Amino acid sequence: MKVPFFDLTPQFSSIEEEIKSALEEVFKTQQFILGPKVEVLEQAIAQYCQTRYAIGVASGSDALLLSLMALGIGTGDEVILPPFTFFATAGSVSRVGATPVFVDIDPETYNMDPSKIEEKITSKTKAIIPVHLFGQCVDMDPLLQIAKKKKIFVIEDAAQALGAEYKPHQNANGQRAGEMGDLGCFSFYPTKNLGAFGDAGMVVTNNSDLAEKVRILRAHGSQPKYFHKWIGINSRLDTIQAAILLVKFKHLEKWTEARRKRAEQYQKLFQDLLSSVPGLRLPMIQYKNRHIFHQYVVRFPERNRLRQFLTEDGIGTDIYYPLPLHLQECYSFLKHRQGDFPISEKAAEETLALPIYPELKEEQEVFVVDRIKAFYKDRGLGV
């Protein structure tokens, strides 16, 4: 049996006709940039995220960049973020001329540890970017308290967390990823829970001034056309991508629930291995959060050997992320060293993402866990 790490083809087969007719509509109108489809998608995402505004942009990276620009963050400013995230979180900060200031993560959730933020705040700190990594929200209450006390902005990097909820209440939604900070940023990169057929992204906010500013900045800062209020960028959402995303959005809840079910199944299948393999850690769900399992990431002893073993068995896995940002070559000017953020460094060495997607079959999942059990059995561990 083969288990690819990720496979979009079954999802496409299930919606092929809907996608084709949505594209046909766009072809007939010959409108390719922004337009009514983008506006409908913006309304749908705003409603889904429980925010007043949503602005479609060209990628999740641009969503971060435009949020920083809208807040006027630039040269001489500092922005706090975790070193264990996708590069764009820090890259966008550097792009506006500001300095990324790293704060280590929690070893169980892999999200930024709010108890370590305050010691990093200086007179130059303008914002914090919590990253809701792998589909679970950062512990936002203490983070928001600090931000409020110190009067600094919060930009949520919710690229991996569309539909994730923080502290859900009984019989009611919790706070959705993206609605808790000043601005929330989403990515519709093809492998995301809601993926386009190319790059696309969205900024959400409850602040009308910031919404207006992002909207103007995404079109070269022009308002009205050819009169430039600010120096913006070209980061508009394509109509074709919006049409595709609107089709897929109708299925998002069903797909997310399928991912959550697959995660629950992994949790059950791994139970007996937990007590016999020291150091093996499954994803931890805080506060009964709604984790949307963009990734299912496990801490495994002998991670690299296990990965090789699974590859030979036809099982795809991936590493998110093999080198924390403070140790990246491009950030050598920040003068960080190995050991500066030990929890992120350990996570980079020990974690492995297993296949998880709505169409993953139960028998494929059983096979993945069986092969992992076989790996540890060969080492005299486990069942």
Q: List contacts with ligand PLP (CB under 6 A).
A: 59-61, 85-86, 88-89, 131, 157, 159-160, 187, 189, 199, 201
Q: Measured between alpha carbons, how far is 201 from 235 in angstroms, rounded to an integer? A: 9
Whose CA is closest to 81, among 98, 104, 61, 64? 104
Q: Who contacts 173 (Cβ-Cβ below 8 Å, separation ≥6)?
A: 50, 165
Least distance (Å) from ligand PLP to the CB of residue 320?
8
Q: Which residues, including other chains, have CB under 8 Å from residue 278's CB and lie 6 or more apart?
A: 301
CB of 63 to ligand PLP, least distance (A): 7
Q: Which residue has the tokens 């984790």?
A: 291
Least CB distance from residue 20 to ligand PLP, whole Å? 24
Question: For residues 320 and 376, which CB has a smaller minimum distance to ligand PLP in the complex?
Answer: 320
Q: Given the complex with ligand PLP, which of 62 and 179 has the nearer CB atom?
A: 62
CB of 282 to ligand PLP, least distance (A): 21
Q: Toward ligand PLP, which CB reaches closer, 59 or 351?
A: 59
Q: Which residue has the tokens 């006709």?
A: 17
Q: Tokens for 240?
A: 């074709």
Minimum CB–partner distance for residue 274 and ligand PLP (Å): 28
How far is residue 133's CA from residue 345's CA, in Å, rounded to a whole number? Answer: 16
* Helix 36-48 and helix 239-249, axial crossing angle in degrees, nearest 10: 40
- Pick between residue 165 and residue 199 the one whose CB is nearest to ligand PLP: 199
Amino acid at 47: Q
User: Between 83 and 382, whose beta carbon lies closer to ligand PLP?
Assistant: 83
Rounded least distance, CB 155 to ligand PLP, Å: 11
Q: Which is nearer to ligand PLP, 58 or 372 (CB)?
A: 58
Nearest-approach distance from CB 302 to ligand PLP, in angstroms: 27
Closest CA to 302 of 356, 383, 382: 382
User: Considering only CA atoms, which of 258, 158, 249, 159 is closest in space to residue 199?
Assistant: 159
**Overall residue count recorded for the chain in this entry:** 383
Helical axes 208-217 vs 60-70, angle rounded to 10°:
120
Report which residue's Cβ sits closest to ligand PLP: 60
What ranges make up the beta strands (E) of 248-359?
Answer: 296-299, 351-354
Q: How far is the CB of 256 from ligand PLP (least distance, A)?
A: 16
For residues 252 and 162, give the distance between their C-alpha atoms in angstroms, rounded to a whole number: 9
Smaller CB separation from ligand PLP, 26 or 88:
88
Strand pairing category for 183-187 and 201-205: antiparallel
Q: Which residues are bridge partners to 100 per DSSP?
A: 79
